[in-house]
Amino acid sequence: MVKQAGAKKPDRYELGRERDRMTFLYLEHAKLNRQDSAIQVIDQRGIVNVPAAILSVLMLGPGVDVTHRAMELIGESGLGVVWVGEYGVRQYAYGRALNHSSALLEAQAKLVSNRRSRVRVAREMYQMRFPNDDVSQLTMQALRGKEGARVRKVYQDQSQKTGIAWTRREYRPDNFEASSPINKALTAAHQALYGLSYSVIAALGASAGLGFVHTGHDLSFVYDFADLYKAEYSIPVAFQVAAKYSEDPDIGTKTRLAMRDAFMDGKLIVRMVKDLKTLLGVSTEDTEAETIQLWDDRMGLQKFGVQYHELPVGAPE
């Protein structure tokens, strides 16, 4: 076999933790290759090498070609990859997670499978949005109504603050250009937040599809999780961008850049990692464990990698 050039596969301890990484990088109409431990981005403007281990998620738009060597590096570095549509308004596919532990996934599946624990986690998610109110006894219907009123007020407050007229939210995934400037900005901002939310969920080994409030979609938990931060990040950023670039035909790009800066300035990844573990009741030590064991319905967890022998007929188990 011919020895391949380039950097060796990184050891686990050499990779940056999800909470320490940059947020996301959106690319379109470019070719991605590998240059040692960096993703080489080539387009009509030139060549840029981006270290794979410092990014959280790559959002790949139309016209992106990715080589096998680039995907190899991305997988080794635990970099989340999301293939999106033009302007990032749709999500088509995604890549492998960083974390090898199933602790968060198992905890999430257990919590969402029980009615009482599912309601409890859903209330905790709403409680994060209403820190001054006690929502521990409210029904899901009451919580939805309370959240709806909160979001409407956020839109109205941002409209008054920025001078951008606001009527209602219009999302047109099949015709982005037909929307008003503020709705274009909101679409781009929310999609950037969804991308980062998905990256954190997947990187820590949780399931994007097992939602507590949303359900029936492969991204249900992404929508649950992203809703925790919209009022603080995507909505105000969208109004600020729309106020400044309402006539700019490339308002989607301006919004994504503003979101990226807001994520970095607010250290949102660090906060997301902490919030996710808290909601699912899993410690950092549990999520960083990489041991694999065998499940037994009577004897509990058993060692992996041991050659077990068949029990004699009639022998006690």
Residue stretches of the annotated binding site for Mn(2+): 147, 214, 227
Rounded distance, CA 189 to CA 186, Å? 5
Distinct helix (H) and strand (E) counts, the chain: 10, 10
Contact 52, 303 (CB under 8 A): no
Beta bridge partners, 24, equal 57
Tell me if 195 sits within 8 A of 88, measured CB to CB: yes
DSSP state of 230: T
Do the strands 57-60 and 80-84 form a parallel or antiparallel pair, or are they unpaired? parallel
**3-state helix/strand/coil string of 84-99:** ECHHHCCEEEECCCCC
* Interatomic CA distance for residues 260 and 189, integer angstroms: 9
Angle between helices 251-265 and 234-245 (to 10 degrees): 140
Residue in this structure with the two tokens 């997947």, named with its chain if needed: 202
The alpha-carbon radius of gyration of the chain (Å, integer) is 22
Of 207, 19, 252, 180, residue with least CA distance to 107:
207
Annotated binding site: 147, 214, 227
Are the C-beta atoms of residues 97 and 80 closer than 8 Å to each other?
A: yes
Task: Compute the distance between CA of residue 250 and CA of residue 241 in angstroms, rounded to an integer.
Answer: 11
E strands in 113-267: none
Strand, helix or coil for residue 51: strand
Please report, as a single letter, which amino acid is at residue 41. Answer: V
